[in-house]
Structure 1
């Protein structure tokens, strides 16, 4: 079988990271473009206070990647509050700063729709352990985000900004209870910019300005609030923020000193980093993306694909489930069968995968390959119900590896299956769901491990 050489599309780091930030918006339940808009706001503030080009470069990526660790607390939020993690996170961001408003939100959303006994148990746990729970959730998120940023070779300033995103000027924040100027400047800007965008999206420009002003000296550095109010006094500021072309504007904001063209190794690192974001969404998928990627690469080599094609396919395999960031953990963690609504949301993850990868120039040629991993040879798969002839070998490899790793790993509804049993189940699905030739290569690949 002949294989075409795989060309690396020309792209900058800013373009790829900005486009990938839409995946982070999904896991936070935010309207598409939240991280992009936060970056626009924060960069205007950074310029207004006279940051150097180097500091602006660090600020730029801290803003785009501020939510890099957010998937790591999704399952825990779902478990503790017995709520849809994405909706809970989105709603929580619009709550005021008072203890009364926070408690009202938490209690009204916890185990909503559950029995009185169920709600009492969940709320009682929060009342008893609330501070420890909040600290654990934020430490998990901040640590994971900083660690992933480090694997992407960002500076210590970017990693520290992500780690300390939730610190408050008055010392009431987390994870370090830092106060005033002890909080990294980039973190101070990022948190304020985040809140401004949340309230702008939720209730408009006046609500955003009022909320930033209200939190001055409390959550926010008063000098930064003054800078925000100054730059946001211009109608152009809000026009750009609401413009459909804002992503292009933000990409062009990237300081040249901090950007660079991408090579294959860095594209691999980006794929692996977002594979970690995907897998952090559920404890049952820890390492899944990397395992599917590595096994797909091994199978591609067995099919005599070129080294470039193997590398390209591995990226698609690592990112095949990126759309699951848009699925509630209440569904991903459900131990029983899914109802029709839940199943529809689960199936949508493949469509999300196509949309996310399709908007990233350097990964757009992976979109259809990765998003089709639940298509079947008998035409009964999703999201498009493609006939077998329309499913490429690249996708068939990913499908086979994904199927295998899911069987031999723990899932909410069952424990991991022995390899022999997994292969027997896959043999039963050969020719309908799984390509027989790919299955034969998988068996040989597994035998060598």
Structure 2
């Protein structure tokens, strides 16, 4: 970021985050922004207070913030987590049509034998399995909302994302006016935007009427159908500008420290997409910043490369966990999806004013000096020192992390791999040497007041890496019951209710365990 570039406003950064959420939903960019415009129009019609309207805006903008955090579970049951989320917009989540939808999407894209096995497991207790997954989603959304500083009201409202007006929703079966009005408005706006885009205004109206009193609040539906055309952005409107103009705190500025806090939170949010990437963005940012100082980069370039480190993997959200979690060789189509993720990162970040240089650096984190990288195949002079440093930091940190297709490399092996890539002209030798010089091999101890025992600390680190109780028991030569008891005590001590909350705690306190 250059010295003359103004810092983005808070709402601009959160709007950029909403575009990343769109990717995980399989929706076009600015879906959540358009939904927020619809929701605020409904809030005015319903006569909601200024505070309620503010809650409506941010609830709608970020209501699916937890969706990527349970991508691993979605992929386990449904194969392509993004496709099933996209298609779920067209189905009322109730009764036989929804059951048919679930059955039709179990282990989507997997071989028939795998589909049969997963179907048998899920159908033994479909509602219980879904309730567990949805409870995890809602708890994750609340944790992430707190992490982003959205306030306790929005945090509490997000727990009702999957509830239905008729009480048939999950995870708690809350009904009627017990569901916050902010969520009842957001629910209609979210699905109406999709149906209007696909089937026109009358299609959105037909959907709302068919779900009136079931999924959706009748009062909100009636306010919507009274004059639906006026609620949707006009064809010539720019949804980004329109949504930002009606934001409740549209002029709230960010200083450099608060911006960094927000970008760090977004990086943590992105890393929850896959258990094996937890802490990746923080570590890349720290390596890249330290290496930039080592090489004497300017303060502006150092800030930009650190921020790019936190944000470089935002586009990962737009690629299914069915691809990220594949242990075998990728097909040509799957590899193309992987190659797209830096482009998607750029697509999100370039929408945020003031982050132009950060976006350019982040987009290039898989580019190579010899032109063999992606997404653009940039080479040589097209890659500045910040881009070269970030690529080296990403390569080193990734090597220290497990992947479904390989074991974790120890630091010495990771260093050898980087040097070999520098020798081949893939990575810049000077950037590689700077990253290795600042990497360090000793883990940093963090003082904590959580009273965790050494065994609980060890188990928390493995939970954060995505291991289940059975895997942890096997690794530590303990009974599964003993591990479960340790996990329950650990959660109670740190105030977590699910894996995502525990993972964020482990990340913030330096407890993410390597997986050998």
* 1:49 aligned onto 2:46: yes
Residue 361 of structure 1 corresponds to 353
Q: Show the counterpart of 2:448.
A: none
Show the counterpart of 2:197.
201
Report the CA distance between 1:231 and its aligned residue: 4.1
The residue that corresponds to 2:471 in the other structure is none
The separation in 2 between residues aligned to 1:277 and 1:39, in whole angstroms, is: 21
What's the counterpart of residue 465 of structure 2? none
**Deviation at 1:75?**
1.8
Distance 1:53 1:112, change over 3 A: closer
Deviates more, 1:220-229 or 1:240-249: 240-249
Distance of 2:198 and 2:108 partners within structure 1: 22
In the aligned structure 2, how far is the partner of 1:237 from the partner of 1:44? Answer: 6
Paired position in structure 1 for 2:187: 191
1:168 aligns with 2:160: no
Q: Do 1:6 and 1:309's aligned partners in 2 also have CA atoms closer than 8 Å?
A: no
Tell me how far apart the structure 2 counterparts of residues 259 and 139 of structure 1 sit (CA, whole Å): 35
Distance 1:243 1:139 in 2: 40
When residues 243 and 63 of structure 1 are mapped into structure 2, their CA distance, relative to the original with a 3 A threshold, is farther
1:402 to 367, 377, 394: 394
Task: Find the counterpart in structure 2 of residue 413 from structure 1.
Answer: 405
- Please say if 1:121 is aligned against 2:114: no
CA–CA distance in structure 2, aligned partners of residues 61 and 196 of structure 1: 17
- The residue correspondences of 1:49-448 to structure 2 (distance < 5 A) are 49-81=46-78, 83-112=79-108, 114-232=110-228, 235-238=229-232, 240=233, 242-256=235-249, 259-431=251-423, 432-447=425-440
Q: Distance in 2 between matches of 1:32 and 1:197?
A: 12
How far has the Cα of 1:277 moved from its partner? Answer: 2.5
Is 1:28 aligned with 2:12? no
Structure 1 pair 419–123 and aligned structure 2 pair: CA distance change class (3 A): same
Q: 1:183 to 1:241 in 2, by over 3 A?
A: farther
Q: 1:416: how far off? A: 0.7
Q: Once the 2 structures are TM-superposed, how far is the Cα of residue 7 of structure 1 from its aligned partner? A: 4.2
Shift of residue 271 of structure 1? 1.3
Deviation string for 1:215-270 (max 9, x for gaps)?
A: 222122221122222241xx3334x25445122111111134x7511211222122
Distance in 2, matches of 1:5 and 1:216, equals 51
Q: Deviations over 1:289-347 (max 9, x none)?
A: 11111211221222233555433321111111111111111111110111111111110
C-alpha spacing 1:259/1:153, structure 2 compared with 1 (3 Å): farther
SS in 1 for 2:101: helix
CA offset at residue 11 of structure 1?
3.4
Instruction: Return 5+ residue gaps in structure 2 as ranges.
Output: 443-516
Cα deviation for residue 114 of structure 1 reads: 4.3
Distance 1:72 1:188 in 2: 23
Report how many aligned residue pairs link the two structures.
Answer: 441
TM-score, L = length of structure 1: 0.93
Is the contact between residue 76 and residue 107 of structure 2 (CA under 8 Å) also seen in structure 1? no
Whole-Å separation in 1 of the counterparts to 2:231 and 2:2? 45
Distance 1:390 1:343, change over 3 A: same
Show the counterpart of 2:503. Answer: none
Unaligned runs of 5+ in 1: none
Residues 358 and 160 of structure 1, relative CA distance in 2, 3 Å threshold: same
SS at match of 1:430: helix
Moved more, 365-374 or 261-270: 261-270
Q: What is the aligned-residue RMSD (CA, Å)?
A: 1.9
Query: What is the TM-score of this pair, normalised by structure 2?
Result: 0.81
